[in-house]
Amino acid sequence: MCTIARASRSSVVQIEDSQSETVGTGSVLSDTRRALQKIATKAKAPVLLRLVFHDAGTYLQSASNGGANASIRFELKRPENTGLNRGWSLIAAIKKELEGTAAAQLSHADLIALAGAHAVATTGGPVIKVPIGRADASAEDPKGRLPEETLTADQLRQAFAAKGLGTRDFVALSGAHTLGNKGFGEPLSFDNAYYKSLLNRPWNDPNNSMAAMIGLPSDHVLADDPACLDMIKGYADDQDVFFTDFSASFLKLASLGAQWA
């Protein structure tokens, strides 16, 4: 599943297959979709979605640097990025697959965002129209900008605010933890099971031998925060609301600090 838009500082215009951005019988949209379907399989969805946050999450609004720029390829040895070399290798493979096609113009930063959106859609989540035109960084972003797993809900709120993201954004984006092996529902199903689990607080169950393996400390604190709790209840009750808010917050995340061509 791949939906692409062309971004600029003043507007976003969707690229359709019928438009002129073609090489031979291909187009940016169809060529990218084909590469994603071949390489970014459903089993790879968790690592690809995580890659989006770890690339874009280096943005700091006050410094006006970092963000969605594919600098993650220089940062894979950082402790917080453990395991993301697998995600980056997929992006590199997609880029290689697109050589000689209309989509060869796409930057690595674009492909990270597109692969993340594809990961959501292919696991049952919403289809997100992703703008393209991001420039790739030529060096690593500053260290120490990703929120630590031990932060309180208020500290998380401050960390995301420093990136230009609000409380609703970080609560919605936290729902990405429904993918993978963090203990929230089926590992390859993008749904609202994360929020239902937060309300049940299974990590407090003394009879659950797997309790310690469910979620991160930064997940556990959300349900104890009144502002977050209201949103958690809303998302647990209505998956469509979660999908709508996640889509909007994902697009904000995938555009943080981006330099648009």
Q: Catalytic residue positions?
A: 54
Terminal CA-to-CA distance of the chain, rounded, Å? 24
Q: How far apart are CA 33 and CA 20, in angstroms?
A: 17
Instruction: Find out whether 134 and 107 touch, Cβ atoms under 8 Å.
Output: yes
At 90, list the tokens.
């997929």
DSSP state of 162: T
**Alpha helical stretches, state H, the chain:** 28-39, 45-56, 85-97, 108-122, 153-161, 167-174, 193-200, 217-220, 226-237, 239-253
Torsion of CA 68, 72, 73, 78, to 10 degrees: 170
Whose CA is closest to 68, among 163, 156, 154, 159? 163
- With a CB cutoff of 8 Å and minimum separation 6, the contacts of 18 are none
Whose CA is closest to 219, among 187, 185, 194, 200? 194
Torsion of CA 132, 134, 140, 142, to 10 degrees: -100
